[in-house]
Structure 1
Amino acid sequence: MATQEHTNNNGDYTSVSIEDNDDDEALANSMEARLYDDSPLSAKCCIFRIPDVFRRHNEKVYEPDVIAIGPFHHRKPSLQPMEIVKKWYLRTLLSRLNISMLGLVKGIKEFEKRARDCYQEPIDLDQNEFIEMLIIDGCFLVELFRKETISELRSMDDPIFNMACMHQFLYHDLLLLENQLPWFVLQYLFNMTMENDRKTLSLTELVLKFYQTYFSLINHTKSTPRLDEENLHIVDLIRNVLISSFPGVESDEMPEKPQLIPCITELMEAGVKFTKRSSDNLLDIVFTRYTSCFVILGSDFVSNFGQKSSYITNSNIMLEFYYDRLWIISVSNVVLKML
């Protein structure tokens, strides 16, 4: 609102208020132009940033040590040395199979919009950079998982298999929720680079065999159609396998209200008794009227599992924290209560 002053015939001052419609209209137009037509979070989103409220307790748990997979850590300076290894893996893959880069580019380009929608925030990479990242990172993972199972694919100068520490770093980095590629991208690249004259396991089976040697809870690698079709990414695959070994977790109905189970210490203080039973399944728990029978973790297993499971535990919790479809309490939550 603007005010103007003027004098009348008697020399007296008067003030007149004038609505500044032009300024109001400009503000309204400016505000409307800055509104969003689409939701800031796609319904297909499944790869998230870790909230600061979780990160502040131990930020390093959520950060990759040696390799960036996907866009969130793509430009991190400390991870650039592995970019050379990833590009070398892609070169050897193309040379071995006589596949054209053009074919991969055209194929992945069809997935660009769908892949971008999987990430929680807009990706600061143009179309070419994003497609290049998907191809380089995806082909590295596919080739890594194949080499883990098919030893003749490894070369004498392969730094991943010649350096004992590399697997330890990769086990950690590839199970970080921020460090993921959409499963459908991996599956497409796996299919595109499959050797017709070589019988091979499915991508799901290769990933599980990669982790089976390290993560002892994964004690089976039998692929099922459901696991192949419904994975969101590698973290989701591991989670699906861990909970699928526990009978009775599959259900199409959502629970009315999740109920949290107190930790073992609290249950024991309340008078609940626990008995050790022999089983390979950590979730194979039997409840009786007087006794709860758990698979008790040995001291050696606990000491090793504490380090090995921190990243899969945190990644699973974050995945369930964000993704309300995954309502089943996973093995990670149970392990947290038991350790």
Structure 2
Amino acid sequence: MTKSFTIPRSVEWNENYISLLDQQKLPLETEYIELRTVQDVWESITSLKVRGAPAIGITAAFGLALAAQNYEVESIQAFKTQLQKDRDYLASSRPTAVNLFWALDRMVRSVENATSINEAKTKLTHEAIRIQIEDEAVCRQIGEYALSLFKSNDKVLTICNAGSIATARYGTALAPFHLAKEKGINLQVFASETRPVLQGSRLTAWELKQSGVDVTLITDNMAAHTIAAKGITAVIVGADRITANGDTANKIGTYGLAILAKAFNIPFYVAAPLSTFDISLQSGKEIPIEERNPEEVTHINGHRIAPEGINVFNPAFDVTPNDLITAIITEEGILYNGEYKDSIANLFQ
């Protein structure tokens, strides 16, 4: 009997609440929680119950629509003022992933011309749903372009989770693996565990197994040996922000993989939608890097693994310089090294 596989989803709109896959509980529990207030949405983003730049943007968009349903104001101007306050509140939840701000600003723009409160509420709901539907189509297109760079039996290394639960569906860096499974193309994936929050072991390994993909888990410090010993043919990662010159912020540890890819002379690919580009920044030096709670490093599952009082440096992201990136895969096509500044500018003309 053929075993059926599914591509998981992380966010669903249910009229008066958001159903959210609690990614903090994976892989031991598959639990969907209900977000009913803008505070619930803010907390879910900050605590990493939802993570992945596109999924954060989608959740925030639904959160703004959800908040607006309960505004008790008498004028459309007061409505828009409250909406801007909630936009700013949700924007404070994570500083690095640009999709958050892109989605929130798109939501606010959607009601600029609204003349009544009911019209504004309807427009916000429809806009949030559109953002999610568009993201699914975008991710599939990214997956198609990415899959064109691989051949059957390739062995590909990835880090963190840029998959279906980090987006509307399919993912970015993981999209080619889901599509390869659909098309009967054999790709072997090696997933770095991704310390300190273990998105690779908890999320990517779980998601790819759900989809029936051949996946092998490694610890982060096994990457160089794995590339050599297993014959890794490429590295593919997602992105949280890409600047005008192609510098890319992604989960901490990505920069190290790019250096290894160059040392082993294998391609290093970034997969990301246009919503992840921030052309207001000229280079990665301008990207704000979130630093998180030291306990993510000193504790695992609530148990201390480091000395009391130890100094901790816990950046959530690093920046990979554009010269280490072989290509950036978008829904509009593949951008190649040496052409990033011009090709990125052309995308946003």
- Quick check: TM above 0.5? no
Q: TM-score range by the shorter chain?
A: under 0.3
TM-score with structure 2 setting the length? 0.26
Structure label with greater radius of gyration: 1
Greater fraction helix: 1
TM-score (norm 1): 0.26
